[in-house]
Chain A
Amino acid sequence: MKFTWFNLMPWPYLPDDFRRQHRSVWVDIPSSLYDPVKGHALYNTYLDELEYAETLGFDGIGVNEHHANGYGLMPSPNIMAATLARRTSDAALVVLGNSIALYNPPIRVAEEFAMLDVISGGRLVAGFPVGTSMDTNYCYGQIPALTREKYQEAHDLILRCWAEDEPFAFNGRYTQLRYANCWPKPIQKNPPIFIPGGGSLETYDFCLDYDYVYCYLSFSGYKRAKQLMDGYWQRVAERGKDLSPYRAGFAQTIVVAESDAEAEREYRSHIDYFYNRCLHVYPGFADAPGYRTIKTLKANVTTQMTRQALGDVSAMSWKQLVDDGYVIAGSPDTVVEKMHELITSLRVGNIFCLIHVGDMPQEKCNRSTKLFAEEVMPRLRNVWPEYADDDRFWIHPLTAPARPARAANGVGA
């Protein structure tokens, strides 16, 4: 199993009445709610937490990209990954990812990912999300019905940039480059590529065409993910591909304490903050018309768009969140049991562990992280012994990388 410690980097100072005062945590949330001085301390805390996770033996540390978002303070995940590249030495840098249709020209992604891979000695996991409608369409103005075509073209350009040894002309519909020429090149000839997906057949096939890792990044937990992941594995089988669990990843909110009761006592308010405050997104931003294919839309149309639904500010309870699997919470034994169920029922080799949750303070986050690393992770390492040697979907770093000079003084340890 590969465990990546992931930090969404939420803003922890949203007011108590946020949901009543503001229609959305994303897109049109007023930036007056952001305080850059508090933000200074926060970024450093969040980066410390990521670095701490590496010291405990997590396989990867993860960052992602959001825009105008009160629960995701990383418009540029590459800046975060760059700081981590210098302050860590072993963990994969899981950038999940760059919304490649948003970069103009998208060769920028080929270049920056190559830089990260080179600085880190070959530790980059490159994520290529289409991006949410909130980020891609509403915040970054991409035309919904053309987003996927633009994404595909950006993908083709980036891969070719990494593969070609000579400058080439790229005559795309969205990008034209007379001299496409990627300096530097990544250390990993083919960095592992992770694709966040939400259940569309097209994305299953895209991952299988290129042997990319299909990642379901949901906040609604493993029980609700079963049907979607079953659909993925069915497609893998139909395509005659091997069923390596490392073809798939899943994000799960996890909190660990000495006992189940302590988990509730310690983490309940932070879980509540995340699920009932941070995820307050105006449904009109969730799915710009044309963003999803009609086929996908028919399968998962939302009905949260009535006047009644909009007025509903009822909160999800701890019990509901835990019972329904949104959150895996409890003692190490409880968490091992539920994680085992998650891993085997979804058949995943990659877990993106969302252990920092909402407005959780650093000491609680570190305690939960440490318990997971020491009491949970070792007991889940070998769920897939028959695939122990499958290294196709993970990083291949240099065996003797350069070390930053200050690391010798203990910084980053």
Chain B
Amino acid sequence: MLVEPVALSDFFLSFFSAAMIIFTATLYAGLFAWARISGQKSARIGACVSYASLLASVAVFSDVNHLTGYWLLLSFSMVIGYALMPHAIWHLCVATHLDETDQ
């Protein structure tokens, strides 16, 4: 079988960790951007804490959803993708707005 379904006792964990992945990823992205804008240390710490929670959520999610074998690629791409994405988008923001700084 290509997938092993979530165990009955893990239903709540599966839903909750999935929601937490999206929440913490967004919070991390938001705080990361805010830290860049404001230079506030607390925002940077917040971003780190969010990312740590994201890691924990992905770990729980992968465990209860039985992401083994090549499915682990999904877990890894979430961990790496959500970490790098905000950086990439930030660079894009700065670069695409470059020529309006003088306005």
A binds B: no
